[in-house]
Structure 1
């Protein structure tokens, strides 16, 4: 059984202004410490076979300048790869707008690994979406990455985990609800969003990620 509360609390969540290749950007930032050496975490994030066991099957030419495609997920171009500390890729889902994902690793003094993932989108596009629909979409981006970081932690500890099926279980929906609320708090702190607006955004995200549950946590 997964300790959902500890998994949610293990990740620090922030909103940022990370630039994208085309200019100004807006980003979600996730940071946590994994109980594994940096070489092991790097391998889990870059080795085709290992990556497929926690994020999803991946195809493509996995080198700088090459392209990748995750099954039933996003694809893009590999922009930077600086072993064992940094990976940066474009991240495009279907016909959606081009975004960028950067993963940064750093060793701790006690042999663990600080993991940061920043997902940045063009600022103008994000600002227009937020004005039109509120912060619910940003919560959705963060929740998706929360599930990925959970999968990586379980993989590093040798736990068999299939996110595609687990997220539809009662345990998976509980994780999604708590993730939505955690991102709601991060967004409210960064943007000074009103209580009513953030509650509506969290409820919207919960209905998408955890249907038939309550948003009250």
Structure 2
């Protein structure tokens, strides 16, 4: 029997007195919020949630509709299903917590979904987009207060079929393309974290922990304690 695609779980961890909520939008390698996902992905979210809640910032995580094959590119229908789920969660959070600011954290495909949602948000919002790649113009609404692009320094991309080391493009370069495609009245900040991979997993001995940086970005580009 097929699972009802309209049913999902929403995990909320919102401390008393929270004035901000972070909505985590996982990669295409995750369907349920408690699956492992890409390398180190669930561990990253677990650690990030614990750090944010310590700072009295609420966290929401939710189930996406399942995909037929996560090893293949997502189909248009599956993408629309995920975008629809994100819109439903966004409306629920804004209705249930109207006094709270909202920050999206999107990973990979999740970052693309968030960027699309930023074109229609109707209340003040910000976003931290991890591992995002776009090469076509996107205009976000004036309700978007800040966008942070975050990449691991070892998250290389390449185009074509016969890929060699010479074809690899470093995030320091392709992030400039991404930045140029985002039309926003709000500032767009780029962070490249040393020694980390696509899902901000450590790749070498020089890797820096991403949690403190992500918490700072959620706090509006400065230490939350300031």
Give the number of the structure whose residues are more often helix, by fraction. 1
TM-score by length of 2: 0.31
Q: Which protein has the bigger strand share?
A: 1
What TM-score comes out, normalization by structure 1 length? 0.32
Higher relative contact order (CA 8 A, sep 6+): 1
